[in-house]
Structure formats: C-alpha cells, structure tokens
Amino acid sequence: MRETFQIKLDTMVSELARIARFAGQTMTHASTALQQADPGFAELVLSNRDKMRILCEQVRQRCLKLLVLQAPVATDLRIVITAMRAVCDLERMGHLAGHIATIAQLNHPGLPIPGEIRPVFARMSMLAVTLAHDAAAAIESRDQLSGERLAQADDEVDALHRQIFRILFSQDWSHGIKPAVDAALIGRYYERFADHAVAIAREISFLATGQPPQH
C-alpha cells in the first residue's frame, strides 16, 4: 500500500515538471507569434493553454484524492501541498502565454511591437522560457536553493520590464498609444510569467525544510 502511494506521489511530481516544461514551450511559441506575426503559432499557443488547464486540473484532482483517501503527513503532505500551489502557478503561466498570443492575433498581419522594443521582448522571452525549464528541473531535483537562484535570474527580467517603460515614456517614442499599450501589456505578461516560475521554485524549499516560502 505504501509503495503504491509513493508511486502516485512520484508520478505527480513528474507530471508537474512536464507541465512546467510545456509552459516554457508554449511561451516560446507565443514569442514566435509575436515576433513574426505568425497566426499559426498563436493558434497553437491557445490550444496549448487549454491543454495546460486540463493537465493542471488533473493534478489538482489527484492531490485532492490523495488528501482525502491517504491522509498524508510530514514530507508526503508537503509534496501534495506544493503540488496544489504549483498547479495554480502553472495554469497562470499558460494564460499569460495565451495573452501574448492573443495580442499577436489581434494585430495580424502587422507586427504589434515597433522595432526598437523587439530586442527587449526577445530577451525577456528567452529568460522567461529558461526560468520555466529551471523550475521544472527544481521540481525534479527538489533543490531547496533553486528558488534563490531563479530569483536572481528574474532580476534581469524585472530590469528589462523597467527598460520597456523608459522606452515608452521617452520623447523618441513616435508610434502612438495602441502600440504603447500593447508593449506595456506584453512586458507585464513576460514579467509575471517569470515570477510564477520563481514562485514554483521557492515552493520546492517547502519540501525540504517545511518552512513556508518567502515571496
């Protein structure tokens, strides 16, 4: 009985890591839709977002069943609690990638972002995707220090987010209000996506230490 329960826990942890990598892949596709004005990638992102929502709900239901039927304690209970928190972050990451894809769709066939801001978004995308994959690795390794490492990488995302506003509010901005609003939203979506990846990694320390993560 105990062995079966442990297998269920291990399977759930592996599924969380798989969804985190799927989130990173989805954000990659969203960024491609944005940078290349590609409606095909935008549709793929929205489809993946729905798949992520289903996968997250499946994990959530497994957690509830384990709590009700197995009454886990100590480390096992922390795994279940961490999983329930992580699926909320992962589901939100899917929605954020979907928001970026939607902006790309609404601006098709044109590019929604002017040239001078495109490199900033390209860098933010790369960092956000890397953080998603790092969060997946943290889930698998249960590394209690991963949260701090990801938070340091997230600092660059925050700096880039501030750079976007410097560009938008500079006197050189000549592209009008709508591109500025889209750029502000896109920057926020990348920044929040990265924050959720960091939150997942910080939850991992809860598994090892039993101490609530400090956000």
> Residue 168 is part of a domain; what is its CATH number?
1.20.58.220
Q: What is the pLDDT of residue 48?
A: 97
Asked whether residue 70 is domain-assigned, the answer is yes
Asked whether residue 202 is domain-assigned, the answer is yes
Asked whether residue 214 is domain-assigned, the answer is no
The overall average pLDDT reported for the chain is: 90
Residue 157 near residue 121 (C-beta atoms within 8 A): no
Asked whether residue 215 is domain-assigned, the answer is no
Task: State mean pLDDT over 72-81.
Answer: 82
Segment among 30-44, 138-152, 160-174 with least mean pLDDT:
138-152
Asked whether residue 190 is domain-assigned, the answer is yes
- Model confidence pLDDT, tens digit, residues 5-26: 778 888 889 999 999 999 999 9
Task: State mean pLDDT over 127-134.
Answer: 96
% of the chain with per-residue pLDDT over 70: 95
Q: What is the pLDDT of residue 10?
A: 87
Q: What is the pLDDT of residue 60?
A: 94
Asked whether residue 141 is domain-assigned, the answer is yes
Q: Which is more confident, 213 or 38?
A: 38
**Boundaries of domain holding 191:** 2-209
Task: Please check the confidence at residue 111 and state whether its pLDDT lies above 60.
Answer: yes
Asked whether residue 165 is domain-assigned, the answer is yes
What is the pTM assigned to this prediction? 0.92
Amino acid identity at 178: K
Q: What is the pLDDT of residue 69?
A: 78
Task: Please check the confidence at residue 215 and state whether its pLDDT lies above 60.
Answer: no
Q: Which is more confident, 11 or 158?
A: 158
Task: Please check the confidence at residue 1 and state whether its pLDDT lies above 70.
Answer: no
The tally of domains found in the chain comes to 1
Distance CA 194, CA 214 (A): 16
* Distance set, CA 200 to CA 14, 133, 139, 180 (Å): 14, 11, 8, 31
